[in-house]
Amino acid sequence: MSEDHVSRPSRSASTNPLRVSFEFFPPKTAELEPVLWEAIQRLAPLEPDFVTVTYGAGGSTRAHTLGSLDRIVQETGLHAAGHLTCVGATREDVNNVVRSYQKAGVRHIVALRGDPQGGVGERYVPHPEGYATTADLIRGIRAIGDFEITVSAYPEKHPESPSIDADIDVLKAKIDAGATRAITQFFFDNELYFRYMDRALARGVTIPILPGILPVQNFHQTANFAVKTGATIPDWLAKRFEGLDDDPATRRLIAASVAAEQVFDLLDHGISDFHFYTMNRAELTFAICHLLGIRPKLARRAA
C-alpha cells in the first residue's frame, strides 16, 4: 500500500478462496508460554492453511521450537511448519533437527539460511561442516524425507544481495533445490510487492509467493526491526503513529486500520493468500481476518 497506489491500474480480483497462515515464535521462558498459547487458541478456529514456529539465531530456541510444534500438532491438529536455519551448525546437527521434526509429525519446514552469527550487517561465513546456502539446506532436507518446503523472499531484496535480480537468482536456486512456496519479508508499500512479483514472474518463478503482513504492535520496535532487515518504513506510516507513544488504545486502532488497508488493496489486486507475523499477539490478526470475512468455524456453522 502506498499513498498513490490508487493510480495503478487494478488487476483482476482473484476468484480463489481466501487463505491465511500465521507465524508464532517459541517462548523463551515458562512464564511466556501462556502468551503463545492464548494467541494460538484464539487464531486456531480460523482454520489457517498452516502455522509456523520460528527458530532462534543459531538454533538458540531449538528445544522450545520443537516443544511448541509438538504441542500444536498434538493439541490443535493445525498444519504446523517448523523454521530451520543452517547458520553456525554442522550438517549432522541440522539433519537431527529435521529428523526431530519428522518424529513429531511435522512435514513442513521453513528453510532459511539464518543471519550471520555476528548479527545483521556482518559477513556470513558458513560452518565448515555445515550447509553453505539455503539451497544446500533444502537438498539436505529432501534427502531425509518428503517435506513441504517454504522459503523466504524479499520485495526490497535481502540486505546482502547486490540487486533484486541477484536476489531472484537466489530464490530460483532455492526453487530448483525443491522449495514449493515462498513468504516475503514484511513490507508496507504494496507497490514493492507488485513490482517484485512482476520481476519474479518474468524470470520464470511460478511458485506461490505469499505476502508477509506485519500488524504493527509497536511502531518504534517495528521501525528498528525494519532498519536491520532492509525494509522501508514509508513516511505516511510514521505520520499515522505520531504522538501516540502514550496512547496504546489509539495505536491499536491505527494499526488495525493500516493492516486492513494493506490487505484489502492486495485482495483487490488478485492476492488471496496472506501470511501474518503475529508476534504472538492475536488481537490485530484476528480483527483483520474478520474484516476479510474469515470467521471461526463454529461461528460460520451457527450463521
Q: What is the H or E stretch that residue 150 is in? A: strand 148-153
- Phi, psi (5° rounding) for residue 92? -65, -40
Asked if 21 and 276 count as a contact pair (C-beta separation under 8 A), the reply is yes
- Phi, psi (5° rounding) for residue 41? -65, -30
The helix/strand count (H/E) of the chain reads as 11, 9
**What's the CA gap between 64 and 90, in Å, rounded?**
20
| Residues whose CB is less than 8 angstroms from the CB of residue 96 and which lie 6 or more positions away in sequence, other chains included | none
DSSP three-state, residue 224: helix
Cell of 221: 520496535
Q: Taking the CA atoms of the chain, what radius of gyration do you get in angstroms?
A: 19
Q: Rounded to an integer, what is the distance from CA 64 to the centroid of its chain?
A: 19
Q: Name the nearest CA neighbour of 215 among 270, 281, 293.
A: 281
Catalytic residues: 23
Report the amino acid identity of residue 215: P
**What's the CA gap between 84 and 54, in Å, rounded?**
8
